[in-house]
């Protein structure tokens, strides 16, 4: 890295910047229309409820990348892990080693916190990122498929005794 890169944890005042990075990533992933996050939601869940953490990669006091992560737990390891939800470097700053620097920092955090692993997902079409992750020694998980329940299906699963008219039925 020619320019000095530093990391700065996000503060409450950074919520608009966090949302901007999320939208930039979503646009890159061709999923911008799926972003439902708002500044209010991010402030609540990141800063009020402490459900995720964010730090920025800073070059010359400018945020050029960000990562949003949180702890998960491995029952097999009996220890927490860190799950990377989003990692994004602005296109004009790629190729400078900043992505690797962010992953180095996350690995340090994981080791300091006693975590057993660092995990993330990557879209199958994103070959530049896949090649980058493989170059670091990351291994794709074989024989695992990610399943998701969201939106109305999540509500239905959470409320199995609700009928369509808003009443509740009891089935024994």
Paired residues of 161 in beta bridges: none
**CB distance 46 to 85 below 8 Å:** no
Q: Which has the closest alpha carbon to 6: 107, 93, 105?
A: 105
Neighbours of 68 (CB within 10 A): 21
Q: Which of 9, 83, 133, 147 is catalytic?
A: 133
CA 43 – CA 48 distance, rounded (Å): 7
Catalytic residue at 133? Answer: yes
CA–centroid distance for 2 within its chain: 27
> Helices (H) and strands (E) in the chain — how many of each?
5, 5
Catalytic residues: 133
């Amino acid at each position: 890295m020619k320019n000095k890169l530093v990391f700065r944890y996000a503060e409450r005042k950074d919520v608009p910047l966090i949302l901007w990075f999320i939208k930039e990533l979503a646009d890159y992933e061709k999923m911008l229309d799926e972003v439902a996050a708002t500044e209010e939601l991010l402030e609540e869940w990141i800063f009020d409820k402490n459900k995720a953490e964010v730090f920025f990669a800073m070059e010359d006091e400018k945020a050029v990348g960000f990562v949003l992560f949180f702890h998960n737990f491995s029952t097999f390891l009996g220890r927490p892990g860190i799950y990377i939800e989003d990692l994004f470097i602005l296109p004009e700053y790629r190729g400078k080693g900043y992505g690797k620097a962010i992953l180095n920092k996350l690995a340090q955090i994981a080791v300091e916190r006693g975590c057993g692993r660092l995990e993330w997902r990557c879209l199958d079409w994103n070959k530049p990122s896949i090649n980058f992750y493989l170059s670091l020694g990351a291994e794709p998980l074989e024989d695992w498929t990610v399943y998701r329940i969201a939106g109305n299906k999540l509500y239905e699963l959470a409320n199995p005794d609700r009928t369509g008219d808003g009443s509740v039925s009891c089935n024994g």
